Structure 1
């Protein structure tokens, strides 16, 4: 065996030249150019307003004069000297915990009905999704107000069935349920996500269950719900957050008053009234941060509970 080294092995290795800083910056200018609008928008419309609202929450600020530092007075006022705040919190909790489960349940029902091989299923999916696209608009809120009016189609249908007409705008409980019905009607986005989850469940599971003699309910409880549980978790979190931020329907249907008797005074509506009607922007900022904390706590609770009811295939079945 020859012990001579080749010419390449004897030649000194050339050091790898690193590009100069200026050339690297010049090379990345294109990337900086494309991400620039997002960074500017994120700083201008998200980060800076968040920091400003945190500061304003500790001040007395009316939008016209300089903020006056008052410490924790705004937060103390919420829970000790503002019964309307506590009432709006109560109304919002009823709206969220009454509407979100019904909305998810109805969305899952429709998704299971659409999970068929029908030729017109694409048209049905589009039709059912439309309310979610336009459901938060002013026009739909006005339409909803007319539907539930004293001479609206709902009362006409009730009287046609022999029941008494309901004064939806004269009863606080009925007015709140009118908003809940509107939120249930906007089930399209959740329905599409459920439908995608149902499509991902292998049909062999249902075939094997049929061979074992399982009925529809047993298949639903033992197969559909466990396999769909991650999707249920995602929808529950997203719809809960969206429900807490509901504003347009309550504002339009109640004409900005939150009536009757504050029956539709949702949290976001009261926050808006404090900030832009009463000009208590410091108090409104404090309310916004309390809402953030409440949503964060509820989201954490849902995530913590998921370990007991959410099934992941990668974990071998829990």
Structure 2
């Protein structure tokens, strides 16, 4: 026997109530999240897809004409000698910046984690360079690295050593910007490592001490395994930062990119430098985007397996 209209009315009322509740939830979601979504679409995804379109053009910056070339810009970047040089410099700079910042940051964090007088002032001093302007930091270090009148040249002269040609020798130029980048960013690593060290339960350290484990063994057997979430976080963020946030130092210390043309700096040089190749620059920017995406995905997929969260 088919249900009557009176029997179906409660079910229909529940459906209408559920729909009203869903409509109310969606309205609240759009009210609070809608402006943020609109901003993300306007300032992130629209420029991203526009840049992908520009990367298929042979277009000079400021020109009113653009010729579609398909994937030719990408082929040129991956097959040319200049493109291979960009990858080489980017790899060296990223490796030096990440390893240097994390190792020195960990050593400083281990020292600051001790009960020493003035450690609050020391933490402030270590972290201060991280919040300074990259341009200001680079200008100060330009005076330090000056081969003729710089402070470093004076110190080397005291021990009868000649200052390298930091600005003329491409290899020394790369070493120079790595040193400055590490100096500026190791405070960030030190503070994050210090937070990780202070979150380690003291009873585990005390138990290892009772078992007669020395400082080195305690570090590698207890401290370092429990720091792996911190190490993983810093590894991901530092790789991303070193590939995208070093432009101010590179541009200020080596304006023409003499031996320091990392991929982010090459984008600027190709578009706004002497070449004015906006389409080719857009292609390099797309390559950088997918490189960062791939590096992060690989780390999340494979490196995170080595992380101990408990």
User: TM-score over 0.5 for the alignment?
Assistant: yes
Residues 26 and 225 of structure 1: CA distance in aligned 2, closer, same or farther (over 3 Å): closer
SS at match of 1:122: helix
The residue number in structure 2 matching 1:199 is 198
SS at match of 1:60: strand
Using the TM superposition, give the Cα deviation of residue 282 of structure 1 relative to its aligned residue in structure 2, in angstroms: 1.4
Using the TM superposition, give the Cα deviation of residue 276 of structure 1 relative to its aligned residue in structure 2, in angstroms: 2.0
Using the TM superposition, give the Cα deviation of residue 32 of structure 1 relative to its aligned residue in structure 2, in angstroms: 4.8
The residue number in structure 2 matching 1:8 is none
The residue number in structure 2 matching 1:247 is 247
Q: Which of 269, 272, 275 does residue 276 from structure 1 map onto?
A: 272
The residue number in structure 2 matching 1:47 is 45
The residue number in structure 1 matching 2:123 is 125
Residues 206 and 27 of structure 1: CA distance in aligned 2, closer, same or farther (over 3 Å): closer
Using the TM superposition, give the Cα deviation of residue 299 of structure 1 relative to its aligned residue in structure 2, in angstroms: 2.7
The residue number in structure 1 matching 2:64 is 65
Residue deviations 1:2-31 (CA, integer Å, cap 9, x gap): xxxxxxxxxx9895674997xx679957x7
In 2, the alpha carbon distance for the partners of 1:290 and 1:27 equals 37
In 1, the alpha carbon distance for the partners of 2:299 and 2:155 equals 39
Q: Quick check: 1:56–1:67 contact (8 Å CA) kept in 2?
A: no
The residue number in structure 2 matching 1:311 is 308
The residue number in structure 2 matching 1:4 is none
Using the TM superposition, give the Cα deviation of residue 275 of structure 1 relative to its aligned residue in structure 2, in angstroms: 1.6
Using the TM superposition, give the Cα deviation of residue 112 of structure 1 relative to its aligned residue in structure 2, in angstroms: 1.0
In 1, the alpha carbon distance for the partners of 2:203 and 2:215 equals 15
Using the TM superposition, give the Cα deviation of residue 45 of structure 1 relative to its aligned residue in structure 2, in angstroms: 1.3
Residue deviations 1:154-212 (CA, integer Å, cap 9, x gap): 11112223322222112211111111111211212221111111111011111111111
Q: Quick check: 1:205–1:223 contact (8 Å CA) kept in 2?
A: yes
SS at match of 2:114: coil
In 1, the alpha carbon distance for the partners of 2:299 and 2:85 equals 24
Using the TM superposition, give the Cα deviation of residue 232 of structure 1 relative to its aligned residue in structure 2, in angstroms: 0.3
In 1, the alpha carbon distance for the partners of 2:173 and 2:205 equals 43
Residues 43 and 293 of structure 1: CA distance in aligned 2, closer, same or farther (over 3 Å): closer
Q: What stretches of structure 1 of length at least 5 have no aligned partner?
A: 1-11, 314-318
In 1, the alpha carbon distance for the partners of 2:306 and 2:285 equals 31
Report the number of matched residues. 295
Q: What stretches of structure 2 of length at least 5 have no aligned partner?
A: 1-8
In 1, the alpha carbon distance for the partners of 2:47 and 2:114 equals 47
Q: Quick check: 2:232–2:304 contact (8 Å CA) kept in 1?
A: no
Residues 25 and 304 of structure 1: CA distance in aligned 2, closer, same or farther (over 3 Å): closer
Residue deviations 1:55-97 (CA, integer Å, cap 9, x gap): 11122222432543211111111123x3222212211111011
Residue deviations 1:215-253 (CA, integer Å, cap 9, x gap): 111011111110001110110111011111121111110
Q: How does 1:93-108 map to 2 (within 5 A)?
A: 93-108=91-106
Residues 19 and 205 of structure 1: CA distance in aligned 2, closer, same or farther (over 3 Å): closer
SS at match of 2:163: coil
SS at match of 1:68: strand
